[in-house]
Structure 1
Amino acid sequence: MLPYSESLDTAGTLFVAASVLAPALLLAEPASEYVTIGVMYAQAMLAAYGLKELGKLCIPRARPFLYFDDYPLREVTEGDAYDSFPSGHVTMAFAGAAFASSVFASYHPDSVWKVPVAVVSYTLATATALLRVASGSHFMTDVLAGALIGTAVGLGIPLLHARIGKQDLEASFSPYSLAFGISW
């Protein structure tokens, strides 16, 4: 448990942004695959976000910096001082890392770049986790839970798509209401 550090908190936010952008390397795939990859990535990010929000709703937990006298009042007044579990930054970072690594590997099963893509992706995500603990924003259990949730979603969504087949996926939008449906 560490006191709050604004600079480390900011660094953690920069690393999560890099992790969430890691799947941009998939723009090197043929343009015909952009919709498939984009839909999968949107589903992965929405599922990761929803699961971390559900965790925060079900398990209210004080952030580590609240155990110190000099905690940042701004962080408390913004309303998430008791939303420590699981780490949202880490959930999203590991979802991006797992997605980028698994989708790249599925498109290029014999590539020598599979390992470097995975190493860089997971290094960014791990740096996010370490910075969230070092900044006093999370406990180690918060980041471990976030890493598990993010990895499960980042690997699970592409696996689900591989199992159901591209031709069986159908998405629809309704311009007259706030509705979105996916079926197979």
Structure 2
Amino acid sequence: MKLFSSLLLAGSISLGVGSTASAQRAATSPYQTRFAVDAPVIVGLGAINGFGLYRVQQKSGLSEAELAALSKNDVPKLDRFVAGKYSEKAQTASDFLCYGSLAVAPGLLALDPDMRSHYGQVLVLYLETMATASALFTTSVGNVYRYRPFLYGTEGTARERSSKISTNSFFAGHTAHTATATFFAAKVFHDYHPGSAAEPLVWGAAAVVPAAVAYYRMEAGKHFLTDNLVGYTIGATAGIVVPQLHKKAGRRGMAFTPIQGVNVNGHSYGGLLVTKQL
């Protein structure tokens, strides 16, 4: 996730100009993007990501005495069945599914001819959506100490067990980012092809892949059930809501567009523009 955060700003700015031009050329896109609005939003989200990562670096791992004092009985009953689990194979599987989905989800959208003609705009929306989920994730792990499940067992290297990263259990970043990518792809497909016969399959795949990631993250001893539930919810919500906020009025009768500017008194403002077709 650090790699995604570090590349976020460069990619978003370079694509921002292209997205605006693409939106102007193509009248059939269901979305509206504006460089003057979306670029600052993405930059701001990137700054939040950077600060969250900085906060993570300020955390400290557990000492041997603190590790020895950990007890499964201190874990809420809902999560207790995960405490003590550890599997390198499960971690590899979760990495493969998560990082693969980040590339595959937008890649599949490029195969659609209608979306391909507006692909610059789609990519900017994808970056903005991923940046939203990532900002929430880094803010959470940078400020919340929750010990990973494997610390309640005996497995894992000494370096892993004493690392500051071992305090980053809440919430599940792999699950959140995967859900963001898959639900974004499903939402965009739906907006371009409402009523398509393929929608049940598309939405089903969007739901199953992050659920599989969540399962492997628990088996790996990286996150508890509640960490994954929160991550799944945040990711799915971001994947759906951010594209929805950029929809044009007409197809559903109402659209919400982020706006910002300076009024006649010189004061800056920001908010949502609600547009409804009569």
Cα deviation, 1:70-107, whole Å, max 9, x if unaligned, reads 23334235530000000110010110111011110110
Greater gyration radius: 2
Find the residue that maps to 2:107 and give its secondary structure.
helix
In 2: Cα distance, 1:23 partner to 1:122 partner: 16
5+ residue gaps, structure 2: 1-81, 248-254, 261-271, 274-278
User: Aligned partner of 1:26: which letter?
Assistant: L
The aligned counterpart of 1:24 is 107
Q: Does 1:42 align with 2:124?
A: no
Identity of aligned residues (%): 32
TM superposition shift of 1:120: 1.7
Which of 116, 135, 148 is the matching residue for 2:220?
135
1:113-160 Cα distance to aligned partner (Å, 9 max, x none): 111111122211110011101111110010001001101111111011
1:59 to 134, 139, 144: 144
The question of whether the paired residues in 2 share the 8 Å contact of 1:64 and 1:138 is answered with yes
Structure with more contact order per residue of length (Cα contacts < 8 Å, sep ≥ 6): 1
Moved over 4 A (4+): none
CA contact (8 A) 1:19 1:121 kept: no
Residue 164 of structure 1: how far off its partner (Å)? 4.2
Deviation readout 1:33-55 (Å, 9 max, x if unpaired): 11111111000111111101111
Once residues 74 and 24 of structure 1 are traced to their aligned partners in structure 2, the CA distance between those partners, rounded to angstroms, is 37
- Other-structure match for 1:177: none
Q: What is the alpha-carbon distance in structure 2 between the residues aligned to residue 18 and residue 63 of structure 1?
A: 24
1:108 aligned partner: 193
AA of the residue aligned to 2:92: T
Which of 88, 111, 120 is the matching residue for 1:6?
88
- Bigger shift: 88-97 or 67-76? 67-76
1:144 to 229, 233, 239: 229
CA distance in 2, matches of 1:41, 1:56: 22
In structure 1, C-alpha distance between the alignment counterparts of 2:158 and 2:205, rounded to whole Å:
35
Structure 1 alignment gaps of length 5 or more: 171-182
Give the superposed CA RMSD. Answer: 2.1
Q: TM-score if structure 1 supplies the norm length?
A: 0.84
Aligned to 1:180: none
